Amino acid sequence: MPRLLASDDLLAQLADLPDWRLEDDRLVRAVERPDFAAGLALVVAVGEEAEAMNHHPDVDLRSTRVRFALWTHVANGVTQYDVELAHRIDDLL
């Protein structure tokens, strides 16, 4: 069972994720893409990483904007899996 990150640990790890913020116990990042097709391509690429990890983001895809919200359902908050997925998303960006 994944463990929730303690708030001091999480804040320390967020230093390496400057484009992410904590919102309602989720790690959240929103990005603008040139058009919907580019946003969709990003979602597909992130989805492949998520499948490889068996850890899946909440995704909100609008015309030129994609918003990712990361949390671990079984722990009801942010765990190391979410931090790892955030780094993988950053790498894709």
Ligand X SMILES: C[C@H](O)[C@H](O)[C@H]1CNC2=NC(N)=NC(=O)C2=N1
List the one residue from 10, 13, 72, 83 that touches ligand X (CB under 6 A). 72
Work out whether 26 is an interface residue with ligand X (CB under 6 A): no
Work out whether 13 is an interface residue with ligand X (CB under 6 A): no
Q: How far is the CB of 78 from ligand X (least distance, A)?
A: 10
Four-residue CA torsion sign, 24, 30, 35, 40: negative
Comparing CA positions, the residue from 82, 41, 40 lying closest to residue 62 is 40
Kindly determine how many residues on this chain lie close enough to bind ligand X according to the rule CB under 6 A: 6
Task: Report the SS3 class of residue 84.
Answer: helix
Which residues, 6 or more positions from 65, have their beta carbon under 8 angstroms from its beta carbon? 30, 31, 32, 33, 39
List the one residue from 3, 21, 65, 73 that touches ligand X (CB under 6 A). 73
Work out whether 74 is an interface residue with ligand X (CB under 6 A): yes
Residues near ligand X, by CB under 6 A: 54-56, 72-74
